[in-house]
């Protein structure tokens, strides 16, 4: 699974992030322990980064592992083409499914 989900479920000291990039057809999920700067992507059984087919699927996954909110990070290369800079858009979303 990549990250120790039991740690986050029991201690509730981690943060969850759902990553969406430009025109990608999938979402990635990462978690970060409190007071750490590095996040860990959720991995599948074959130890590859797990891809979620929809935002709902990623939210559902996190909600059923004890998270009540996540940060949705949307990255786009379009701003970079137009303005020369590209900043991520961040939105905190509730996970109530």
11-15, 47-51, 59-63, 90-94: which has the minimum mean pLDDT? Answer: 11-15
Output the pTM of the full model: 0.72
- How does pLDDT run across 59-74, given as a tens digit for each residue? 999 998 888 899 998 8
Average pLDDT of the residues in 90-94? 84
What pLDDT, on the 0 to 100 scale, is given for residue 51?
95
Q: Beta-carbon neighbour count of residue 94 at 10 Å?
A: 11
* 32-60: pLDDT as tens digits: 877 667 788 999 999 999 999 999 999 99
Contact yes or no for 67/9 (Cβ under 8 A): no
């Amino acid at each position: 699974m990549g990250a120790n989900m039991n740690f986050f479920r029991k201690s509730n000291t981690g943060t969850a992030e759902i990553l969406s990039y430009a025109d990608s057809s999938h979402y990635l999920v990462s978690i970060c322990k409190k007071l750490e700067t590095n996040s860990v992507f959720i991995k599948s059984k074959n130890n590859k980064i797990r891809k979620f087919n929809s935002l709902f699927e990623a939210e559902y996954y996190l909600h059923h592992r004890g998270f009540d909110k996540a940060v949705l990070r949307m990255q786009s290369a379009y701003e970079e083409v137009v303005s020369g800079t590209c900043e991520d858009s961040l939105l905190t979303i509730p996970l109530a499914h």
